[in-house]
Amino acid sequence: MKTLTIDAKDIHYTPLNQQIRKAVAEGVKEITLNNILGQRFIGDGLKGDDVTIIVNGVPGGDLAMFMSGPAIIVHGNADHAPGNTMDKGRVIIHGSAGDAVAHSMRGGRVYVRDNIGYRGGIHMKKYLEKRPILVVGGSARAFLGESMAGGLVIVLGLGDTKPIAEQGVGSGIHGGEIFVRGPVDPLCLGNGTKQAPVTEEERAMIRPIIEDFAKTFGIDAGPLLTADYTRIAAVSARPFASKYTLE
């Protein structure tokens, strides 16, 4: 297997990403990026189901945007919008991430071991067999799942913080579903949402995803699998229908 290690210290993101794309085009299957500090757009638009990028440091915004296939593993935190409009692949973040994680994501998986900022999962979409998945190990800030049109978000609330403690969860949602470990204060829900305890069928559906997340980060899956979960979804597939008039 062809591999490549790049020392990214003091390299601007444009030539860095040019090096990455060139390496993938030449058949490199594993790229290790050391000393990453804020470089944006890493992995954007890359294709290849057998390509892995290992990021040691803190990548900048829009990590893996439009990516279709590769895996990106971040040993550190990540800035805003990792997985933005991602089509396929995996983003594994061994830390926390900023706002708009999985923004408009179309497929693949984003796993964040710790916490995320505001508007995680905003505008996520599902198309045919492609169902984007975002799993957050810690907590999510306000407006989680805003305007979701499809996909799946799971928030596990590991550690001492509540998984959800702020307003606007699912605001404008009209597709997809959000699962939260434990109860959710109704005051945190956005307009047009409903919540209910998970059914056995829903529990069976999320089980392999939780097991995969736990295995990825070396977490004991047992307590997560037996815990109670709340499912949050849209009341209507057309939440804004009353805002328009037909003539």
DSSP SS3 for 241:
helix
Residue 132 and residue 150 in one domain: yes
Q: What is the mean pLDDT of residues 78-82?
A: 98
Closest CA to 64 of 48, 150, 149, 122: 48
Same domain, 196 and 225: yes
Q: Which of 75, 72, 214, 94 is nearest to 83 (CA)?
A: 72
Which residue segment(s) compose the domain that 65 sits in? 1-92
Per-residue pLDDT of 46-76, as tens digits, reads 999 999 999 999 999 999 999 999 999 999 9
Residues 161 and 148 grouped into a single domain: yes
Q: Is 135 exposed, middle or buried (0-12, 13-18, 19+ CB in 10 A)?
A: buried
Separation of alpha carbons 84 and 105, rounded Å: 6
| DSSP assignment letter at 78 | B
Q: Total domain count for the chain? A: 2
Hey, what are 243's tokens? 């805002």
Q: 172, 239 in Cβ contact below 8 A?
A: yes
pTM equals 0.95
Residues 107 and 50 in one domain: no
- pLDDT for the residue numbered 242: 57
Maximal CA-CA distance, the chain: 63
Same domain? 77 vs 104:
no
Q: Choose the final residue of a domain: 62, 92, 122.
A: 92
State pLDDT tens for residues 87-123: 999 999 999 999 999 999 999 999 999 999 999 999 9
